[in-house]
Amino acid sequence: MEEQLAELAAKVAAIETKGNLTNTMFAETYYYLTIPLMIIIHAGFLAYEMGASRAKNALSSGVKNILAIAFVIPAFYFFGWWVYWAFPTGFSLSEGPNGISGAAYANSFAWGWGEAAAAMGPNIDDQISGVFWGAFTLFAATTASIMSGAVIERIQTVGFVILAVILGGFSWTLAAAWGWHADGWLVQSWGLHDFGAAGLVHAVAGFFALGVLINLGPRVGKFNADGTANHIPGHNLPLTAMGLMLIIVGFWGFLMACVVVGGEAWSWGANFATIYGTPTNLGALSFNILMSVAGGIIGAWLGTRDPFWMMSGALAGIISVASGLDIYWPALAFIIAFGAGLILKPAATFLEKFGIDDAVGAVTVHGTIGIYGLVMLGIFGTGYPALLGEGAPTISLVGQIVGAVVFIAIGLVTGYVSALILKIVGMLRVPEAAEIAGLDTVKVPAQAYPEGIAASPPAAS
């Protein structure tokens, strides 16, 4: 009898081990797939910004996007990942209530050398950390690409790279530590909930871009002497619209990576959860992403009839519901996204009244709509648990507003100060003559259209 019980126990243990291995392999594969999907976001930004530029600046705009990815990746590896694990409780480097933050934890996990080397390199026993890091890295690179579009056609390449490293390696990561971490003080003290990173990715990047634009100034010819704004069209609107559609495709990977795949290492078991441990599932993403895309497009179409703003409306629709993607009923997601599409163009026009030249509306689409999304969740999600666990804080309008103010401050202050320093040392803006001639002519050893862009034939009389 004892032998039979021992044999049965061994079989159960083997089944459990096999199940845990299967769960781990699924989680690794899941996050691994989010990475190429998020690369599609950058393909979209590349096409979007090149098309939104004039032909004389098309390749220069593309070069910025390529360099943003290249420089943010090592910046996040060597510095940003450490910031995320070290600073959730503030700047004290102290351990948080869940014991997964603070200097000691970060030093043993997030540096790429020393005792943390096993977690930051190929490790047969732990591949999940690597692919989870990869997903976070693409979040970081996305923030730099968001800022990139706002500053096209007049920023210095090296100055842009420095700003991208600061934004992707520090600014958004600090916001993530405070508001997207179980030990984060915004979560623990205020019940902040930002599942899809509307605030800590999009709003931070949008307001960082605003801080840069204040110092960078408008493009030559954007504003008249009386302060009125001129429209400076890009050379290829179909390419821009296609790029925006690619960003929407990549957004599925971005939001997939916001889901934590459960396992024996997590307290909630083998289920899907948010970054805060609260329950969710992929059905929530399927319903609400599709409904928000539709709502954003329809709202922008009714307000503008402009295909650029319609596709921007799709992006704004997703951002507007991202904070509560795990909570909203699909009909409510549609309504919130519809409102985002309606206010998109008026908000961008309002910004121009202050002399701000945001070439692609990035401050509005990501910054303004990111804040709108945070506040909407405060209105409609009040009372829902913001974090897993008994006695956990709940979502509230006040808490969401506090989070919004903090994210605005992080983005705007770090963007403004960084750009101001670059401006003082002459590394922010290209000379006026170079801008007028076109950045491709003076900065890029290639031509986007070496045979010229064919002119349309004259209309028949």
CATH of the domain at 387: 1.10.3430.10
Q: Decide if 173 contacts 411 (C-beta within 8 A).
A: no
DSSP H or E stretch at residue 441? helix 439-443
- 450 part of a folded domain: no
Give me the amino acid identity at 149: G
Higher model confidence: residue 277 or residue 40? 40
189: its two tokens: 């003290």
DSSP H or E stretch at residue 272? strand 272-273
pLDDT at res. 288: 97
Domain count, the chain: 1
pLDDT of 109-150, one tens digit each?
A: 888 767 777 778 877 676 677 888 899 999 999 999 999 999
How far is the C-alpha of 388 from the C-alpha of 163, rounded, in Å? 36
pLDDT of 215-249, one tens digit each?
A: 999 999 999 999 999 999 999 999 999 999 999 99
pLDDT of 340 over the 80 cut: yes
- 449 part of a folded domain: no
- 453 part of a folded domain: no
- 15 part of a folded domain: yes
How far is the C-alpha of 85 from the C-alpha of 72, rounded, in Å? 18
For residue 6, give the 3-state DSSP assignment.
helix
Give me the amino acid identity at 75: A
- 293 part of a folded domain: yes
- 277 part of a folded domain: yes
How far is the C-alpha of 292 from the C-alpha of 296, rounded, in Å? 6
Which domain, by its residues, includes 137? 2-90+98-443
- 79 part of a folded domain: yes
Crossing angle of the two packed helices 58-75 and 2-52, in degrees rounded to 10: 150
- 120 part of a folded domain: yes
pLDDT of 49-101, one tens digit each?
A: 999 999 999 999 999 999 999 999 999 999 999 999 999 999 888 998 888 89
> Which residue from 269, 276, 110 is spatially nearest to 182, judged by alpha carbons?
276
